[in-house]
Amino acid sequence: MKFDLAYCLSLNDKLSIYDVRDLNFDETMDFDSTREHFQCPNDACRLAFDAANELGTFNAKNVNYVRTPHFKNLPSTRHVEGCPYVSLKAPASGVDEAETDDSREENFPSELLLTRREYVRKPPSPKVAADGGRDEPPTPSVNRNGEQPGRESAPDKTSVFAHPVECFVSNFDDKDLLKRVPLKIGEHTAPYGSFFKKIEYLQDNKGLIYWGKVKEIKDYTQSFRIDFEKKVWFEKRPYSVNLYLSKKLIDSYRKRKAFLEEIKHAIESGRELYCFFYGVTPELKQVPSKKNPEQTFGVFSANIENLDHFIVREAPGLADK
Ligand SMILES: [Zn+2]
């Protein structure tokens, strides 16, 4: 059983596993999911048990994951009768649940919010009931930007780019599903299947999530350059596509360490990698030739402006399609 959300005790809020990953890698936040306590997102169920009744995480801290991250029941996790999160296929202890049903992301956010979610720590002094009973039930926090009531049953909106990307990657073979489910970013809404645009067709429409297989990543003094394998055809001629990542931008990034680990892995792993990005559209530019600086050649290129909307990752399901 995978959970779309889990209640995080210290933040007194419900988080998706992608929120947890974002927090784990954020060097400006004091957050480590191995020290946090996650519980059933169903309020009635959670409040029926004490704080020791926890959920586990899968791929919460692994920078370069392949299999879909999620929250899961532990062998000791209990739920009240009728809780929608009661696992129908409760694993026998010793069985790795992750082997059985973690193959795809089933919770599609309807919107990618371009403003980052903010978190407020629960005050450090929990109220203890006079009779020595358990802590007062926490009141839902209302002081968060963009928090909407009714966010209970699905992670309707996310501000973590990796979440819609995982939906697309892990469901890539289900074209009907990707055609059916809508995604909104900014003012633009389109089904997942068309919001994600192959890099070679980037001229079709601006403002989409572009993706493609990475040919090479070059490490320069001031920047990294991502070259894509596929070329763009323009006026009957093929042009290379690349992206530049400024090292200055990376140095001031709140997830700098994790990002450099992702890039380092990408350069050294020798694996097939795919790049996803949103927010910029590569455009045809004339750049000087290295061999002969008097000459120029055309290339479709863009500078990444927001590292939150850029991912290089393995995506085995996308190979040869
Ligand atoms: Zn429950």
pLDDT of 290-313, one tens digit each? 888 889 999 999 999 999 999 999
Q: How confident is the model at residue 218 (pLDDT cuts 50, 70, 90)?
A: very high
Q: How far is the CA of 85 from the centre of ligand 1 (A)?
A: 5
What digits encode the pLDDT tens for the residues 57-114?
A: 999 999 999 999 999 999 999 999 999 888 645 444 444 444 455 579 999 999 999 9
Q: How far is the CA of 86 from the centre of ligand 1 (A)?
A: 6
SS (H, E, C) the chain: CEECCEEECCCCEEECHHHHHHHHHCCCCCCCCCCCCEECCCHHHHHCCCCCCCEEEECCCCCCCCCCCEEEECCCCCCCCCCCCCCCCCCCCCCCCHHHHCCCCCCCCCEECCCCCCCCCCCCCCCECCCCCCECCCCCCCCCCCCCCCCCCCCCEECCCHHHHHHHHHCCCCHHHHHHCEEEECCEEEEHHHHEEEHHHCCCCCCCEEEEEEEEEEECCCEEEEEECCCEEECCEEECEEEEEEHHHHHCCCCHHHHHHHHHHHHHCCCCCEEEECCCCCEEEEEECCCCCCCEEEEEEEECCCHHHEEEECCHHHCCC
Write the single-letter amino acid at 294: E
For the chain, domains (ranges, CATH) are 1-145+153-160 (no CATH), 189-318 (2.40.50)
What digits encode the pLDDT tens for the residues 243-289?
A: 999 999 999 999 999 999 999 999 998 899 999 999 999 999 998 88
Residue-level pLDDT at 263: 94
Q: How far is the CA of 98 from the centre of ligand 1 (A)?
A: 19
Q: How far is the CA of 83 from the centre of ligand 1 (A)?
A: 5
Place of tokens 């992702």: 262
Report pTM. Answer: 0.86
Q: How far is the CA of 40 from the centre of ligand 1 (A)?
A: 5
Q: How far is the CA of 172 from the centre of ligand 1 (A)?
A: 30
Residue-level pLDDT at 301: 97
